Amino acid sequence: MRIRTLTGSLAAVLALSSPLLWGGQAVAAPSAAPEQVSAARLLTYDASGSAEFRSAVDRGVAIWNESVDSVELRPVASGQRANIRVLADNGWPRALPGSLGSGTVYIGRQAVNQGYDTVRISAHELGHILGLPDRKPGPCSSLMSGSSAGTACTNRYPNAAERAEVEDNFAGALAGTSERTGRADASVPAPRAVLIRD
């Protein structure tokens, strides 16, 4: 790394018009771009209402954590409000997304009783919370093809396109980037009150 004197680098600093660290009598010329925000967007989930599907929900969460870098789901601390609530009920599986990365997922027993894979259901519904739409009808290789792939389909992983879409959704929504780039405004959907069935 080159160290330039304050006098020598003043013009460059002004031209860059970005904050640089000033040190005593010298300015360290940046040898690379400032460190980018690389931390994933952290979302919390509460699966305490998911009854017999608790382990399937945890597995669905783990699959997303394995599959993407820009967002990470963690169990909510007790007493805290989670971004995502997961509930079990007797209806058809569905999601009620709020703003990107938040909402409620229902692991419906109706589909489970028909033979659909509970982990695929969990990962699929979480996919809606992460901003993915249904892609139906679709092949088993697609997570968002949902029930259209049939009960024999036990693929629980998003395909490359689905992973990329989630990465893109959250890459623009990371804290600290939205106001500077304006990307978040374009990439974060407005709060949705639309129920996504299956």
Residue 29: φ, ψ to 5°: -70, 130
From the CB of 171, what's the least distance to Zn ion, in Å? 23
Where do contacts with Zn ion occur on this chain (CB under 5 A)?
134, 146, 198
From the CB of 153, what's the least distance to Zn ion, in Å? 14
- Residue 16 neighbours by CB under 8 Å, 6+ apart: none
Query: How far apart, in Å, are the Cα atoms of 38 and each of 41, 62, 63, 176?
Result: 9, 20, 20, 11
For Zn ion, the closer CB: 146 or 172: 146
From the CB of 186, what's the least distance to Zn ion, in Å? 24
Integer Cα distance of 45 and 84 in angstroms: 4
- Check 35, 66, 72, 125 and give the catalytic one: 125
Which residue's Cβ has the minimum distance to Zn ion? 134
Integer Cα distance of 83 and 73 in angstroms: 9
Active-site residue 125, yes or no? yes
Active site residues: 125
